[in-house]
Structure 1
């Protein structure tokens, strides 16, 4: 089948493209935002990417068009698809049609931690010999990819609460119809489609309601909203938590060099020592979630321990991009204030002794808006210095709705944190380069390309080091 994918470079769409290619389909796609790692990932697999959106990209006519959830109704390729009467599906609809209907679907849901937990669970199942299929919203470093079609019965998938497509406003995870799910946490997010927390809760409430009686819900009870949601559920529930009493918990948490060591306490009160290459309270909860689901499917504590020890994480999640002139540059996808706070706390713990300089881009549909203005003032407390880039496409939003970097900088300065708001990405780069010193840790936080900030900084720092050497 010849398949054309509109907005192919999104993490989910790019992953689906590779899955469909592995099934033998002829896949091509288009996107306005073509940048690594997804662009490299697709091109390495010989999947053509057409830059920009144009009706002529549908020539010759494909057998099926898959329309990404970022695509708007007025997109010229979407309009042409409708005008020609071509067969089309949403991203979740295509997943369900081609893959999920044949597998036991295990969805990882929640506001935070989905990608890391999905990658970890996929690695645990693979290491245990279950040969799962998986779809992860990022590149899992153990696999070098975000997707795989395995021979086993399980399909492990990152379950997003974002809507399916402009023609189907239902949350993606409902279209996946999982029989097994992890529900990690629930906060307000996606301000472009949800008016408030109640609307987000309604989406998760429907997910919980649809769980089949023979399924399983693994619930993170450290989260107040999750505790509320699991009061009415028609399937068995297993809980995990660090702060609250739960079926699966953790004790004796400590750092040992670059590894986090702890004991998992199971529902029988038995302790199982673990050593993890990923650290921080947020990752501890991710690990507990994966452990609880793994035990349900018969994976032993010993097998879990061995797999966890060799877990390499996910690209753009506390990823070391390089070190030049004594400055270590970290890339992370964190953007929601809770994720920013937890990520920076984890970096502070892991790289104790380094000055932490955070370079932040307000880029998502939520972070571009003022909703989290006050929350961000508390999110950077682990940083020694913060550089705030301009709001991505800020002029598209009314001034009264737009996030205010200048105000955030002032709020951080009031807490004794050095902070600078910049007017352009070039100014962001120059400010960062001027600030960074030997021994620093530069944490670059953005969910997009950020003007190739990591590469530019590393190249400039390398040039600085060569100048010093001369």
Structure 2
């Protein structure tokens, strides 16, 4: 089937839409958007190739009609607006029918901007690392401050039990993803989020499937920073040299945070206490007080400091901000303890970029200095399945005692010599004296863990996907072995 180009003139929201259809509705962000549109009073329908729990159950509870599979007939009702998900390609039968019918259409980021950010104080959290955690900290703290924020975040925020809400207050928190928007709009999603203020945590090379090099990523972040108005502010981690350079060209005030003397906000005297940390927030050379965060790692201390800096800029009292941070319940799949069975702690984490892996493992080592740390790693993203980070991955597992690596699912569009090798990573780690081994599948890893796990071990599973439900299967396996 050949695709038909969409008319750029129809890439807009009609004046008074009633029926909105979402192609690819079962994605985490799209399902959340569907619920928000329904809350606003629109009739919402959708379609997806993979209609299964938990998103199918979530949408069913809302009474949103979901059509299984993509078909031209799904647009027979001629909705007033069609939202095209990032997973949709130009050859998708509904995209082809959308072009034939000549209906107005938007991407998910465009829809969020048009329907939910207009008239709000948009607070966008951007950066290669820490976006989900930092935006969750920001939204939760605003909630505890009574600000009633709206938000759209890439992870399930425990304080709310969901990843998005419309919100009755004036602030809207958005996790600003640099990945591209849609097949008809090949720009980073965060270009559509109308930032009044932003946090920029870090900038590194990532998303090798859409960015050719670091310079291309820097250009996208520079464009995003240029969208912050002079009346807004950029809260920037100046410990990151790329962030510091990009912030230097901002047309808005820059509030630097980090550990350097040139930072307006500094992280000082950080101490780990199990899965919590304490640190002193220093503002313009003056210690303001101790802060407690129920998450491990210096990187999370910096994430919390960024939230303090932004909320202080917005006029909230330091003591109230710190109290809100101390009550943070966490984010699913971010250093989340899934269970403890037979004295073995099983942790789920999203880390997949080498820097994220290193920081996550270092934080867990500080939290459990005396325990064996067994790491299970699944290279699953488009970038991690490419050879681009092969050498770098060999340098980030030093805090582990054992590393079990799943063979990646090959990329159909890339020669094998340009793809990541789990066997090579295991060999490189073994050459450093680290117990490491590659496994063909999840079943083989579970069998190996059954032999290896003993009381007191901490098993951390790193993947940005479901990993064949390895977490619950491991816990069940440990229970049977008890």
Range class of TM-score, shorter chain: over 0.9
Q: Distance in 1 between matches of 2:465 and 2:63?
A: 23
Please, which of 396, 399, 423 is the counterpart of residue 406 of structure 1?
A: 423
Distance 1:353 1:145, change over 3 A: same
1:284 to partner: Cα distance: 0.9
Equivalent position of 2:383 in the other structure: 366
Say which SS state the counterpart of residue 204 (structure 2) adopts.
Answer: coil
Match of 2:256?
Answer: 239
Cα offset, 1:144, TM superposition: 0.7
Secondary structure of 1:289's partner?
helix
1:142 maps to: 159
Describe the superposition over 1:382-436 as per-residue Cα deviations: whole angstroms up to 9, x where unpaired: 1111111121344443112211111000011111211111222322333333332
**1:301 match:** 318
Separation of aligned partners in 2, 1:47 and 1:381: 48
SS at match of 2:215: helix
CA contact (8 A) 1:164 1:171 kept: yes
1:271-350 superposed matches below 5 A: 271-350=288-367
Deviation at 1:182, TM superposition (A): 0.8
Match of 1:189 among 182, 206, 220: 206
| Cα distance change on mapping 1:96 and 1:355 into 2, 3 Å | same
Partner of 1:442, secondary structure, is strand
Alignment partner of 1:77 is 2:94:
yes
TM-score w.r.t. the length of structure 1 is 0.94
Q: Which residue of 2 aligns with 1:64?
A: 81
Unaligned runs of 5+ in 2: 1-17
Alignment-derived partner of residue 439 in structure 2: 422
**In the alignment, is the contact (CA less than 8 A) between 1:335 and 1:445 conserved in 2?**
yes
- Given the superposition, is the C-alpha separation of residues 381 and 39 from structure 1 closer, same or farther in structure 2, using an over 3 Å criterion? farther
Aligned residues: 465
Q: 1:326 to 1:47 in 2, by over 3 A?
A: farther
Q: Distance in 1 between matches of 2:453 and 2:99?
A: 51
- Indicate yes or no: 2:112 matched with 1:91: no
- CA shift, 1:159, in A, is 0.6
3-state SS, counterpart of residue 317 of structure 1: coil
Residue 11 of structure 1: aligned partner: 28
Structure 1 residues 274 and 173 mapped into 2: Cα distance closer, same or farther (>3 Å)? same
Structure 1 contact 361–392 (Cα < 8 Å) conserved: no
Q: CA deviation at 1:268?
A: 5.2
Matches of 1:153 and 1:225, distance apart in 2: 32
Is the contact made by 1:258 and 1:277 (CA closer than 8 Å) also made in structure 2? yes
1-structure distance, mates of 2:423, 2:434: 14
Alignment partners' CA distance in 2, 1:199 and 1:5: 30
> Is the CA contact (8 Å cut-off) linking 1:387 and 1:422 kept in structure 2?
yes
1:20 and 2:31 matched:
no
Moved more, 262-271 or 89-98: 262-271
Distance 1:460-1:221 versus aligned 2 partners, 3 A rule: same
SS at match of 1:379: coil
| Pair 1:442–1:36, CA change in 2 (3 A) | farther
Instruction: Give yes or no for contact 2:199–2:235 (8 Å, CA) kept in 1.
Output: yes
1:292 is displaced (CA, Å) by 0.5
Q: 2:141 aligns with which of 113, 124, 127?
A: 124
- Equivalence for 2:4: none
1:380 match: 397
The 1:15–1:412 alpha-carbon spacing in structure 2 relative to 1, beyond 3 Å, is same
Quick check: 1:66–1:90 contact (8 Å CA) kept in 2? yes
Q: Distance between the aligned counterparts of 1:228 and 1:393, measured in 2?
A: 37
Which has the larger displacement, 78-87 or 270-279?
Answer: 78-87
The answer as to whether partners of 1:111 and 1:187 remain within 8 angstroms in 2 is yes
User: Structure 2: how far apart are the matches of 1:458 and 1:58?
Assistant: 44
CA distance in structure 2 between the aligned counterparts of 1:325 and 1:332, rounded to whole angstroms: 21
Residue aligning to 1:101: 118
The answer on whether the counterparts of 2:341 and 2:478 sit within 8 Å (CA) in structure 1 is yes
Match of 1:214 in 2: 231
- Separation in structure 2 between the aligned mates of residue 263 and residue 146 of structure 1, nearest angstrom: 30
Cα distance change of structure 1 residues 35 and 376 upon mapping to structure 2, 3 Å threshold:
farther
Instruction: Confirm whether residue 441 of structure 1 aligns to residue 458 of structure 2.
Output: yes
Q: Contact 1:222–1:244 (CA<8 Å) still a contact in 2? A: no
**Residue 381 (structure 2) pairs with residue 392 (structure 1):** no
TM-aligned CA deviation for residue 36 of structure 1: 6.2
Task: Give CA deviations for 1:107-164 in whole Å, capped at 9, x if unaligned.
Answer: 0000000011101111111111111111111100011111111121111111111111
CA RMSD of aligned residues (A): 1.9
1:455 shift after superposition: 1.6
Q: Give the Cα–Cα distance (whole angstroms) in 1 for the partners of residues 68 and 480 of structure 2.
A: 32
Matched-pair contact (CA < 8 Å) for 2:129–2:356: yes
Q: Please say if residues 221 and 244 of structure 1, whose CA atoms lie closer than 8 Å, have aligned partners that are also in contact.
A: no
Distance 2:414 2:368 in 1: 37
Moved more, 347-356 or 115-124: 347-356
Quick one: structure 1 residues 337 and 433, their matched pair in 2 at CA, closer, same or farther if it must change by over 3 Å?
Answer: same
Q: 1:461 to 1:56 in 2, by over 3 A?
A: farther
